[in-house]
Amino acid sequence: MSVLSGRAPASPPGTALTGPITPALRPRRRSRGTGGMSTRVGWLFILPNLIGFLIFTLVPLIGGVGISFTDWNVISGLSGIKWVGLQNFAELITDGTFWAAVGRTVIYAGVGVPLTMAGGLVLALCLNGPVFGRAVLRVIFFIPHIVSSIALGFVWLILLHPTAGLVNLALESLGINDPPGWLVSQQWSLLSLVFITSWAGMGFHAVIFLSAMQALPTELYEAAELDGAGAWTRFTTITWRALMPTTTFLFIMSLIGHSQGFGLIAFLTQGGPGDSSTTLSYLMYQTGFQNYRFGDAAAMGMLSFVGVLLLTVFFWRFQRGRGLYT
Partner 1 sequence: MISTEVTGGPVGVKTKLVPRRRRRNRTTYVIKSILLWTFSLLFLLPFAWMVSSSLKRNIDVFSIPPKWIPNPIEWANYVEVWLHGDPSMAIFFSNSITVSLIGVLGDLTTASMAGYAFARLSFAGRDKIFLLYLATAIVPSQLLLIPRFMFFQQLGLYKTLWALILPGIFTVFGTFLCRQAFLSLPGEFGEAARIDGAGEWRVFFNVYLPQIRPTLAALGIISFVGSWNDYEGPLIMLSDKELFTVPLGLTRFVDADGGLSAGFAMAGSVSSVIPIMIIFLLFQRQFIAALASSGLK
Nearer to partner 1, 16 or 174 (CB): 16
Sign of CA dihedral 288, 60, 146, 120: negative
CB of 268 to partner 1, least distance (A): 10
Q: How far is the CB of 190 from partner 1 (least distance, A)?
A: 19
Q: Is 14 exposed, middle or buried (0-12, 13-18, 19+ CB in 10 A)?
A: exposed
Shortest separation between residue 285's beta carbon and partner 1, angstroms: 6
- 246, 117 contact by CB (below 8 A): no
User: Cβ–Cβ contacts within 10 Å for residue 128, how many?
Assistant: 18
Question: Smallest distance, Å, CB 71 to partner 1?
Answer: 14
Closer residue to partner 1 in complex, CB, 182/294 = 294
Cβ neighbours of 199 (radius 10 Å): 16
Q: Which is nearer to partner 1, 107 or 145 (CB)?
A: 145
Taking the complex as a whole, how short is the minimal distance between the CB of residue 279 and partner 1, in angstroms? Answer: 11
Q: Which helix (H) or strand (E) holds 67?
A: helix 59-67
Q: Whose Cβ is closer to partner 1: residue 94's or residue 132's?
A: 132
Q: Which residues of 71-103 are buried (b: 16+ CB within 10 A; e: fewer)?
A: bbeeeeeeeebeebeebbbeebeeeeebebbbe
Rounded Cα gap, residues 65 and 207, in angstroms: 36
Residue 17 is given by DSSP the state: P
Which one, 40 or 96, has the nearer CB to partner 1? 40
